Structure 1
Amino acid sequence: MTGEERRRVIPLAMRAALASVAMATSLLALKGFGAWHTGSVAMLGSLADTALDLLASIVTLYGVRLAAEPADHDHRFGHGKAEALAALFQVALIAASAVGIAWRAVAAFGDPEPTRDAGLGIVVSAIAIGATLVLLWYQRTIIRRTGSIAILADNLHYQSDALLNGSVIVALVLDQFVGWHWADPVFGIAIALWLAWGAFQASSQAIDQLMDKEWPEDQRAAYIEVAARQPGIRGIHDFRTRRSGSHDFAQFHMEVDGDLSVTEAHEIVVNVEHRLRDAFPKVEVLIHLDPEGYEDTDNPLIEADVTPHWFGKRI
């Protein structure tokens, strides 16, 4: 990714993080008043979730800002994994929230108390749902343009928040208008389980980045095809990929005719790099040059030539 592309992408991610902080702050004040006024466990659970959303959004903002820092002497591949660390921090907060809500809901079963002023709680939750849906839409537009995993984890937070607010409305209606006083703690437990499931899902992508998981197969195949179609290539092997924040990295060994001069072989490498950067501007590529047929390792994980079926289709 070029410096100009980073300047376009990074402000977008930071604006999304700032929007999350502003939204969480507003909803925290609104739900705090609603939870105090209604005495609802479900509303309390939603309040706790929003409080953690605020903290998580602040961490996301810091993670996105740190990930935007250019590579330096101590971090030659950049700071992109700060986004994955921020996402894991959010997961820990979600899990803690789930445990606290479940504990409060179970305690409420032993001493059920009817909630108060369902109308206020419903209005508060409806306002929160509307505001959250707007934020979700905005975050999704940013995710599509940046691929930010930290903003994606934050988006998962607010998806659950919209569902939590809907659950609060249902719990208040059943408790006050139908007389099912057990509904409020039941929905509190349901909310806790939903949060726990969300934490499990949100952790997977962050862990994949920290463990340098390979790209999906379709993305790998598309990248290899562009490289394999370039003139002068006799084969590609040891193709490896990883992702760090919004930055992708690819590296491979490229085989050329062994009789070429160093200058001629280097020219082929430069042409391949240019074509790959044109097709995949967000990917940083590293190419190692080998003479055709050369085997430089006995590592069983090294992929053999991955290009033969493209040789007749080069453009």
Structure 2
Amino acid sequence: MARATPEQYESWIKLATRASIAVATLLIITKLMAWLMSGSASLLGSLTDSLMDAAASLINFYALRVALRPADDHHRWGHGKAEPLATLVQAGFILGSALLLLFAGTERLISPVPPSATGWGVGVSIFAIVATLALLTIQKKAVAATGSTAIAADALHYRSDLLMNVAVIIALIMAAYGFWWVDGAAAVGIAFYIGFGAWGLGKEAVNLLLDREADAEVQQQVQALILADDNVLGLHDFRTRMAGNTLFVQMHIDLDSNLSLLKAHDIAHAVEDRIQSQFPGADVIVHQDPHTVEA
């Protein structure tokens, strides 16, 4: 699929973040009501996850708008790193909520309490599944169009929320038949799931903040575009990195030492154009090195 233009990227980002906040707010209200009526630990876990989803969505909403800002006098490389920075903050919030939920679930396992108003809990969980599926459809299209890591991380939260709601339904039904321990066990399981997810998100964010190379597939595509011109005799010191939606590329190309400065400049400019045609908004720096062509 062709990469989104900066305008398309901004449009999808705004749609996905607004939809995420709307769904998170709706789920918090409904789950809070159901938890107050049922007292279910697993439902509390699902509510906790929704609270973290809402916090993450708000962080994304602000951070991605910062990332969309063009470069200025104080940020000459743009604001793209606001995106992985937001992801790192999200990971910290989620890990903290996982620890709190682990303690709550363990306490419920030690001292099980039968949940009440099971029907409310099951009904709210089914509603949450339907709302989350609708949001994930929007997020899937947004990630496919933009490749945004922050939206992908947000979508991971909501995919886990689907599993959590299924676990809540099972726990509530089992508790109604006397298997009260299932409620606490589900809360502990959810805590571990959230914790491992937070670790993965944090690791990815750190890699992006440390300017990890772009994906191997992207590197291969860029190199093929550079070498598509027979005048480019070689390529070295090739480097890439991602900052938000912006791909940064630097390289040295070998050109015939007999070429005029104007011709060498035109070839380098053509390299930039080919890369930017496939990766809109890419920041490309080309250094030309003379190469002696043997007769």
Global fold match (TM > 0.5): yes
Q: Do the aligned residues in 2 keep the contact of 1:16 with 1:138 (CA within 8 Å)?
A: yes
> What is the match of residue 30 of structure 1?
30
Amino acid at match of 1:25: T
8 Å contact from structure 2 (residues 247, 279) kept in 1: no
Matched, 1:200 2:195: no
Structure 1 position 211, deviation (Å) = 0.9
Who is 1:229 aligned against? 228
Partner residue in 1 for 2:76: 76
Q: Does 1:211 align with 2:210?
A: yes
Q: Secondary structure at the match of 2:5?
A: helix
- Contact 1:149/1:246 (CA < 8 Å) preserved in 2? no
Amino acid of the structure 2 residue aligned with 1:113: V
Contact 2:6/2:280, CA 8 A, preserved across alignment: no
| CA apart distance, 1:282 | 4.3
Paired with 1:135 and 1:210, the residues of 2 have a C-alpha distance of 28
Residue 45 of structure 2 contacts residue 187 of structure 2 at CA under 8 Å; is this kept in 1? yes
Identity %, equivalent residues: 37
Could you tell me which runs of 5 or more consecutive residues in structure 1 were left unpaired when the two chains were aligned. Answer: 294-315
- Shift in Å, 1:236: 0.7
Aligned to 1:110: 110
Please give the secondary structure, in 2, of the residue aligned with 1:232. coil
Describe the superposition over 1:227-251 as per-residue Cα deviations: whole angstroms up to 9, x where unpaired. 1121311111000000001111111
What is the RMSD of the two structures over their aligned residues, measured on CA atoms? 1.3
Q: In the TM superposition, what is the alpha-carbon distance from 1:203 to its structure 2 partner?
A: 2.0
Structural mapping, 1:43-192, within 5 Å: 43-177=43-177, 179-192=178-191
Counterpart in the other structure of 2:249: 250
Mapped partners of 1:277, 1:49: distance in 2: 40
Could you say which structure has the greater relative contact order, defined with CA pairs below 8 angstroms and 6 or more residues apart? Answer: 2
Partners of 2:6 and 2:281 within 8 A in 1? no
Residue in 1 aligned with 2:284? 285
How far apart, in 2, do the equivalents of 1:221 and 1:65 lie?
30
The CA deviation string for residues 92-133 of structure 1, in whole angstroms up to 9 with x for no partner, is 111011101110111112321101121111000000011001
Deviation at 1:263, TM superposition (A): 1.0
**TM-score w.r.t. length of structure 2:** 0.95
* 1:197 Cα deviation after fit: 1.1
The residue type equivalent to 1:168 in the other structure is V
Query: 2:233 touches 2:254 (CA, 8 Å); kept in 1?
Result: yes
Establish whether residue 9 from structure 1 lines up as the match of residue 16 from structure 2: no
CA distance in 2, matches of 1:205, 1:282: 23
What is the total number of aligned residue pairs between the two structures?
A: 289
Greater mean alpha carbon deviation, residues 41-50 or residues 218-227: 218-227
Report the 3-state secondary structure (helix = DSSP H, G, I; strand = E; otherwise coil) of the residue aligned with 1:214.
coil
Counterpart amino acid of residue 91 in structure 1: A
The unaligned stretches of length 5 or more in structure 2 are none
Q: Residues of 2 paired with 1:127 and 1:233: CA distance?
A: 59
